[in-house]
Amino acid sequence: MAPRVTNPNFMNGVPELLVLTLLQQEEMYGYEIVQAIRSRTDAIIAVGEGVVYPVLHGLERDGALTARRKTVNGRSRIYYSVTPVGSYRLADLSRSWIHLATAIQRMLTGGQHGEAIP
């Protein structure tokens, strides 16, 4: 048989990557994350709440985040922090992304296998 591909959805995990990246830098809450992604990428990337909240819940369920409730100005917010598990996961996703982006970059520039970019 022809060799079969085993590629668990090569483009996934980017929203998760972005969320973890932000939370690694500072504690944040959902609504804030949505806008931080939008503003820090100059609106090039704009994921909606329908993406961010499920990601947060999933990461918390997996022990990658911890949540604590805080009330500021009478507004109830849920702040998330990265756990060691989350740090590990971030490093992992980050590596994957770099690999992927580098591979695509090489394709675009016509570069071949072990080509250095000086």
What is the number of other CB atoms lying within 10 angstroms of the CB of residue 34?
20
Q: Indicate the SS3 state at residue 57.
A: helix
Evaluate whether 16 touches 94 at the Cβ level (below 8 Å). no
- Minimum Å gap between C-beta 83 and its own copies is 19
Selection from its own copies, DNA, none that 55 binds (CB < 5 to 8 A by kind) is DNA
d(CA 31, CA 38): 11
Query: Could you tell me the two tokens for 52?
Result: 């961010």
Selection from DNA, its own copies, none that 1 binds (CB < 5 to 8 A by kind) is DNA
- In terms of CB distance, is 63 or 115 closer to DNA? 63
Does 48 bind its own copies (CB under 8 A)? Our answer is yes
Q: Note the residues at the interface with DNA (CB under 7 A).
A: 1-15, 29-32, 46-51, 53-57, 72-78
**Of positions 1, 44, 72, 117, contacts its own copies by CB under 8 A:** 44
Evaluate whether 82 touches 40 at the Cβ level (below 8 Å). no
Selection from DNA, its own copies, none that 104 binds (CB < 5 to 8 A by kind) is its own copies
Continuous H helices in 1-118: 14-25, 30-40, 49-61, 84-108
User: Judged by CB under 8 A, how many residues of this single chain contact its own copies?
Assistant: 37
